[in-house]
Structure 1
Amino acid sequence: MRQLILGAALLALAPVAAQAQDAAAGEKVFAACKACHAFGKNGVGPDLKGVMGRKAGTHEGYNYSAAMKNSGLTWDEATFTDYIKDPKGKVPGNKMIYAGLKDDKKIQDLIAYLKTQQ
């Protein structure tokens, strides 16, 4: 009976383990973001150093759209996930020209990488 319960518990936890964040994999995902974003300086897009926990549209020296400035968002895992899946849907009128990242695992890895750049 104990083995049956242990087996059921392991099966229940398997999806959680499969979704573990991997910052090294996230760095590879970020390669596509480098066309517009960097850490420590603004480019075509705003500086992403310390983005997690930052209020959207507030990084000094970047000219944000009115939509992003007025979005009321603060970048956390849930908000970033929704945004990166569909930037124009989450914040209509923002300047980001990106169709979105649909792969949940890649998003989680990207978030893990962004957290290393605080």
Structure 2
Amino acid sequence: MRANVWIAIAATAATAAITGSQPGHAGTAAPRPAAFAQCAGCHSTEPGKNLFGPSLAGISGRRAASLPGYAYSPALKKSGITWNAKSLDRWLTAPQKAVPGTRMPLGGVQDPATRKALVDYLLTI
């Protein structure tokens, strides 16, 4: 039994080395937090499936307003943001302050623990 555990650990490490994935980053799904329900009303997590807002699949490391097939606000197009833990946390705290002129209707997620759970999830989808 122990050998199987070590084989599984070695296989996971080898896959991470080959794909560049790390725990808590794209490729390793974090649990979907309950707070994501407010996001899911407008955003899909399926690649290529835009709703009222753009798909959030593969957002980690993606430049803001770069997903083909979605009409972003001019403000977000000019923002120069690349989505990572810091930029997502700032965005989710107050989108209109992060990028004045954005069309994102969210007023902000004020609870730091809730925001962290959302950011951790977003970085893995």
Partner residue of 2:14?
none
Q: Which residues in structure 2 correspond to 1:1-118 (within 5 Å)?
A: 23-24=30-31, 26-40=32-46, 41-117=49-125
How far the C-alpha of 1:116 sits from its partner, in A, is 2.6
Partners of 2:118 and 2:74 lie apart in 1 by 26
RMSD: 1.3
Moved over 4 A (4+): none
How far the C-alpha of 1:115 sits from its partner, in A, is 2.4
Contact 2:56-2:122 within 8 A present in 1 as well: yes
Task: Tell me which amino acid in the other structure corresponds to 1:108.
Answer: K
TM-score, with length taken from structure 2: 0.72
How far the C-alpha of 1:39 sits from its partner, in A, is 1.3
Task: Tell me which amino acid in the other structure corresponds to 1:109.
Answer: A
Contact 2:60-2:124 within 8 A present in 1 as well: no
Unaligned regions of 5+ residues in structure 1, if any? 1-20
User: Any idea what SS the aligned residue of 1:31 has?
Assistant: helix
Task: Tell me which amino acid in the other structure corresponds to 1:77.
Answer: A
User: Any idea what SS the aligned residue of 2:63 has?
Assistant: coil
* Higher helix fraction (1 or 2): 1
Unaligned regions of 5+ residues in structure 2, if any? 1-23, 25-29
How far the C-alpha of 1:97 sits from its partner, in A, is 0.5
Task: Tell me which amino acid in the other structure corresponds to 2:113.
Answer: K
Partners of 2:110 and 2:58 lie apart in 1 by 23
Higher relative contact order (CA 8 A, sep 6+): 1
Counting matched residue pairs gives 95
